[in-house]
Amino acid sequence: MPSIFKKEVEMKANSKLQKKTQITIFLIIGIVMVMVAVSLILVARYASKKVSKQETVDVKEASFDVQPVKNFVTECLSVTSKNGLKLLGQQGGYLFRSQGGLLVDYPGTDEGIFFIKNDNSKVIYDILKPRFPVREYMPSIPSYPWKTFPYTDESKAAETFQGKSAFGFNNFPPINSSFGQNSMQQQLISYTENNIDKCLDFSIFENQGISVIKGKKEVNVGINENDVVFRMRYDMVIENLVSGEKTSLNDFLVRHKVRLGKLHNFISNLIESDIGDIKFNILNNTISSFDVELKKDAHNNDDLIIITDKDSSLDNQPYKYYFARKNRNPALFYLAPEEISLPALDEEGEFTIVTKETLLGPQELIALDSDEDLITSESFSITPEPPVTLLFPSINFKVSVTDNEVEDYQIIKVLRESS
C-alpha cells in the first residue's frame, strides 16, 4: 500500500511540474513574439524615416531652402492683386474678361452707352438713366420723374425733391457675391486666378537646381474697411534636383492698405443720394478723407467722377476710383391746368390769340437738373411758339426744357369753345 501511495504522489508532482513547464514555455514564446513585433515596428519606422529623409527635406532645412521660392510667389501675388485693384478703380469697379475679370468686353462703338474713355481705360457708368418704373416714379418722358413733379399732387399744395431711384439707376457693383452678381470680391478673385501664372516664371530657380511643380490653385479675397487681403492656396512641390529632396508649399497671403470697404460704402451712399435727390450736388462731401472731383461733359454731356482716398495707397500713391455718370433729363415743374378752353372770338370779334400768359397764367417756367447742368431762361421753349391764333378746334402746346442734349416736357391743350 505505501508503495502504491508513493507512486500516486510522484505522478501528481510530475503532472504539476509539466504544467508549470508548459506555462513557462508559453510565456517565453509570448515574450519572444512581442519582442519580434516591436523589433519589426522599429525597423519599419526606421526604414520609413530613412525613405522619408531621402524624399523630403527636414522641416527646418526646408523652411530655409524654399524661402526664396515662397518670397517669389508672394511677390507675384502682391503685384498681380495690386494690378487688379488699380484696374478696378480705373474702370468703375469692373474688370473685363479679356483682362481676366467677369464683365463682357464692350467694343469701341459702345462708348457713350456702357462706358466712356479716360486715357486708355474704359470707365463704366455707375449711374445711368432711370430704367424701370419704381413705385410712382417713371423713367419715361413726359411722366419723368412723376407727373406732378415736384408737387405731391395736382393741387400743388406740397412739394418734394426726393424719391428713391427716381432720378437714375444705380449700376455700382456690390462689394461681395452675397449682394449680387459681378461683385468686386468675385472680380478680384477671377482676375488674380487668371493672371497669377503670367508672373510665376520659375526658370530662374531651375538654373539654381530647383524645380517647382504647380498643382491646384484657389484665391480668396477679403474686402475689409481698412484693407484688402488676398489669400492664395496654390499646391506646389519644390525639388532639389541635385539631392533629390522634396518639400511642398501652398499658402500665400498679401495685404494691401486700400480701404475698399469704406470707399465702397462712401460711393454707394453718394450714388444713392445722386439718384434719389434732384437737388443733391455730388461735390458735396462731408467726409474729409475722400476727395470728389467732377469732370463735366467728359463724353458729350456725360460726366466723369473721381474719388480719391487720401488714407489708402498703392505704390505710395493715394487710391483713386473713377466712374462715369450718364447725362439725365432735366425735370420740368408741373404746370396746371393741363387743358384750357377759350372762346373762338375775343371781345372785339377777332379770332382769339393764345399767348404765353394764356398758357401759363402767373406760373413761372422752372426746372431742375440731376447732373447740376445749368438751367436758364433760354433752356425753355414752347411749341408752337406763342402768340398763336386759335383757328382750330384744339391746339397742343409743348412746353419743354432741355440741357442741350435731352429734355423734359408737358403738353398743355387749348380747346376752342363752340359758338
Domain map (residue ranges) of the chain: 2-55, 61-129+168-256, 331-416
Q: How do residues 264-283 score in pLDDT, each as one tens digit?
A: 999 999 999 999 999 999 99
Cα separation of 292 and 302, whole Å?
16
Mean pLDDT of 128-143: 94
Given a cut of 60, whether residue 86 has pLDDT beyond it is: yes
Supply the pTM of this predicted model. 0.81
Q: What is the pLDDT of residue 401?
A: 98
Taking each helix axis from N to C terminus, what angle separates 184-199 and 67-90, rounded to the nearest 10 degrees? 130
Looking at residue 178, the DSSP 8-state letter turns out to be G
Q: What is the pLDDT of residue 8?
A: 46
Q: How do residues 188-218 score in pLDDT, each as one tens digit?
A: 999 999 999 999 999 989 888 899 999 999 9
Mean pLDDT of 53-63: 40
Task: Decide if 234 contacts 215 (C-beta within 8 A).
Answer: yes
Q: How do residues 289-332 score in pLDDT, each as one tens digit?
A: 899 999 999 999 999 999 999 999 999 999 999 999 999 999 99
Cell 393764345 belongs to 354
Looking at residue 379, the DSSP 8-state letter turns out to be G
Closest CA to 398 of 142, 176, 78, 57: 142
* Strand arrangement, sheet containing 380-383: 339-342, 407-416, 394-402, 380-383
Residues 6 or more apart whose CB falls under 8 angstroms from that of 111 comprise: 117, 122, 299
Per cent of the chain over pLDDT 70 is: 84
3 state DSSP class of 279: coil
Half-sphere exposure in the Cβ direction for 373 (13 Å, CA): 26
Task: Decide if 391 contacts 415 (C-beta within 8 A).
Answer: no
Given a cut of 50, whether residue 22 has pLDDT beyond it is: yes
Task: Decide if 126 contacts 271 (C-beta within 8 A).
Answer: yes
Helix (H) or strand (E) holding 213: strand 210-223
Q: What is the pLDDT of residue 66?
A: 87
Given a cut of 60, whether residue 53 has pLDDT beyond it is: no
Per cent of the chain over pLDDT 90 is: 77
| Lowest-pLDDT choice from 78-92, 249-263, 272-286 | 272-286
Q: What is the pLDDT of residue 38?
A: 45
Q: What is the pLDDT of residue 21?
A: 53
Q: What is the pLDDT of residue 199?
A: 95
Cα separation of 88 and 310, whole Å?
17
Cell 480705373 belongs to 90
Q: What is the pLDDT of residue 287?
A: 80
Cis peptide before 2 (omega within 30 of 0): no
Q: Is 122 exposed, middle or buried (0-12, 13-18, 19+ CB in 10 A)?
A: buried
Bridge partners, residue 402, by sequence: 407
